[in-house]
Structure 1
């Protein structure tokens, strides 16, 4: 593990994953976390295992991006203390909140129907995914259930989680190992931080 991307969802995670791949790194993004390590994450979050097996599974992966890895970035960093950490941030907390809420609203409107609450009965994979989704919501928004099952949300709670997370990364990672990356930046600061050169610029959002 060389690079730990600690940015919350909706801080340019897909753009960062794409950029790191174009720079030659192997990357595990949200999809890879689910497809290859969902059981390990659930066992860890549920307290059935410690982090050792999960951390070993990422040993030969160059970089990790997005949840659930990003909200357990410190566990990764404690196991791979020589890694570089990239903290992606939005322009401000309000912009981040709106972006995440819009994404979850869109998902709920297009993918969640009356049948959703019964799917776990017929699909073990869906049941595991829902368990992991709940763990991700706990860590990113302080909620104990999937977003679309909530009758109300706490904007202040979501923003609190986001700001505390970002503050913790800035406080705990040595400055020479940390890049705070604002969405909208090009490749220049990223390439300099990673010791890469000669690449075209890309817009992050």
Structure 2
């Protein structure tokens, strides 16, 4: 299996819904941050790729038909070169302000917590420390974050040929994806997954579980969440 679509959109641009939608359209797995979290053995490969030492993508991504979200989108440029026939999907929100409001209590909070509390030897801590390299310069500066978001969109638009680029926002549904992939429109509603409210509910459940483990005393190292 070869990649049929490359997601260049940043987290909190509908990427979890896109993972589900593309999986239905392509009838195959779609890489997403949840895959990296479920497979910590992938982390060193992503960290190396982000540092400019990409793997043999066909081997590493064997079995996946597409990829969205970070760390996949952090490597969009190299992946676009490796798969020149695949459309590049630039998912985005209606404004930088809307995107940042979604990022702050979810992905950014989880990233800070992981970097502050994780073990340095944990490969996923290294991954969280690398996933925004070259994309977001200061996670604690809202103005810089929004400027970085705009710069990311501009870079993808400048480097990907218009006929290859697919821009998509949550709410636009199936049609742009089906047109890019040359597949029929499904006869079912577009999936809507991982809202900010859903994310925060899971985060609270993780905090309660972590508190319970601490109260019970030392045990095995807790597993990081399957979705950032």
TM-score with structure 1 setting the length:
0.80
For the Cα contact (< 8 Å) 1:4–1:73, is it kept in 2? yes
Q: Distance in 2 between matches of 1:160 and 1:101?
A: 15
| Alignment equivalent of 2:123, drawn from 128, 135, 146 | 128
> How far apart are residue 171 of structure 1 and its match?
1.3
Structure 1 residue 169 and structure 2 residue 156: aligned?
yes
Aligned to 1:150: none
The CA RMSD measured in Å over matched residues stands at 2.5
Aligned to 2:178: 191
Aligned to 1:63: 66
| Alignment equivalent of 1:202, drawn from 154, 172, 190 | 190
Report how many residues are paired.
186
TM-score with structure 2 setting the length:
0.72
| Alignment equivalent of 1:12, drawn from 6, 14, 30 | 14
Q: Distance in 2 between matches of 1:171 and 1:59?
A: 29
Unaligned runs of 5+ in 2: 196-228
> How far apart are residue 90 of structure 1 and its match?
0.2
After superposition, the Cα gap between the structure-2 partners of 1:38 and 1:54, relative to the gap in structure 1 and judged at 3 Å, is farther
Q: Distance in 1 between matches of 2:141 and 2:108?
A: 15
For the Cα contact (< 8 Å) 1:6–1:73, is it kept in 2? yes
Structure 1 residue 92 and structure 2 residue 87: aligned?
no
Unaligned runs of 5+ in 1: 148-152
Aligned to 1:179: 166
| 1:38-49 mapped onto 2 (5 Å cutoff) | 38-46=43-51
Show CA shifts across 1:51-107 (max 9, x none). Answer: 133564125421011111102101100111111111101011110011100214664
| 1:66-145 mapped onto 2 (5 Å cutoff) | 66-104=69-107, 107=110, 112=113, 117=117, 119-120=118-119, 124=121, 127-143=122-138
Q: Distance in 1 between matches of 2:72 and 2:82?
A: 13
> How far apart are residue 112 of structure 1 and its match?
4.5
More helix by share: 1
